[in-house]
Amino acid sequence: MYRSILVPLDGSPFGEHALPLAMSIARRTGATLHLLNILTPIATLYAEAPLFIDDHLEQRLRDRQVESQEQYLEQVARRIEAASPIKVVKIVDDGEIAPTIRAHALHTKADLIVMTTHGRGPLGRFWLGSVADELVRESPVPLLLIRPTKETADLTREPSLKHIMVPLDGTELAEQMLPNAVELGRFLDADFTLVRVVQPVGTLVPGGEAGTIGFQVQTLLDRIDTLQEQVVKEAREYLERKAAPLRQLGLKVSWRVDVADQPATAILHDAVPPIIDMVAMETHGRRGLARLFLGSVADKVIRAATVPVLVHHPTTAA
């Protein structure tokens, strides 16, 4: 159940692209939207003349900054309320951005954080690579990331999120995303596609007499084909096992197996509207040579996806 949704805003049109989807979820669930603006440090804003700012002036500047950001959030809240009867709470705070967002997620008992993958405030600061990157690894609740566009966010537009892709790598850690994806997908009346990307079985051409090389190569290729078919078959059986319980819940679930050297490339190739409207994935899966997610697949998908990405930090590590 979604009761509280936290939306960090940096005061830029980029950040506001998180609002239409957050509003859609709030409308469908009855959740309260908590709009959070985190103040830029005064010393950073006026770094060009720090010696001329005494304590009294700094406080005046801080008061003016707070008033300005409160007015900004009030304007945003009015636009939201004009578009839909959603309960909105406005919060202005200061501190380090990612830790402050985490703190408010806990304080507001947020079920979801919705934010853009980057935004630009008065200093041209960027979320991705800093704030979003840190939250992906440490957020206490699921994080829904949206790639902004140059256009102004249309708060009257109802986003279409009818098809959710859930990449799985065969581990219990990756499967922890399923309950989160299902909960959100049910409110959105979405169907699901489970995806597993398997590596192609490699080959080396053997050495030998010229007369026997052709036979050896053909034998090896036949064996590789057999091994590849077995890998794909096992992946299909795995996905069907994961899809069956979801279908019993009344959900429409399909699955697909891709054979590719780069899992992220395969996921991004498939994750395009209207085929897929959202990707939902854990922030990491297996470690070692078989690792699929954090630092590789999830990171690449978050940075390159044109559709929203729902990520969740696993409760345990393998």
Count the Cβ atoms, other than its own, within 10 Å of residue 158: 13
Domain coordinates in residue numbering, the chain: 4-146, 163-312
Whether the CB-CB separation of 293 and 285 falls below 8 Å is answered with yes
pLDDT in the model for residue 126 = 47
Rounded CA separation 88/124 (Å): 27
Please list, in sequence order, all residues whose beta carbon lies within 8 angstroms of the beta carbon of residue 244, skipping any fewer than 6 positions away: none
> What pTM was computed for the model?
0.85
The answer to whether domain 4-146 and domain 163-312 are alike in fold is yes
Helix or strand holding residue 171 (H, E): none
| Cβ-based burial of 2 (10 A; exposed 0-12, middle 13-18, buried ≥19) | middle
Name the one residue in this structure whose structure tokens are 């036979």.
215
Among 192, 162, 170, which Cα is nearest to 179's? 192
Count the Cβ atoms, other than its own, within 10 Å of residue 58: 14
pLDDT in the model for residue 173 = 86
Residue ranges of the chain with per-residue pLDDT less than 70 = 42-54, 118-129, 202-222, 284-295, 315-318
Rounded CA separation 67/127 (Å): 23
pLDDT in the model for residue 216 = 58
Rounded CA separation 279/240 (Å): 19
Q: Read off the pLDDT of residues 267-298 as tens digits, 9 standing for 90 and up.
A: 999 999 999 999 999 886 444 434 445 457 88
Rounded CA separation 310/281 (Å): 6
CA 317 to chain centroid, in Å, comes to: 19
Architecture of the 163-312 domain: 3-Layer(aba) Sandwich (3.40)
| Cβ-based burial of 181 (10 A; exposed 0-12, middle 13-18, buried ≥19) | buried
Q: Read off the pLDDT of residues 49-61 as tens digits, 9 standing for 90 and up.
A: 455 556 777 778 7
CATH of the domain spanning 4-146, picked from 3.40.50.620, 1.10.730.10, 2.60.120.860, 3.20.20.70: 3.40.50.620
Checking DSSP bridges between strand 309-312 and strand 143-146, what pairing results, if any? antiparallel
pLDDT in the model for residue 61 = 79
Rounded CA separation 52/154 (Å): 42
pLDDT in the model for residue 298 = 85
Whether the CB-CB separation of 143 and 115 falls below 8 Å is answered with yes
With both helix axes pointing from N to C terminus, report the angle between 297-304 and 263-270 in degrees, rounded to the nearest 10.
30
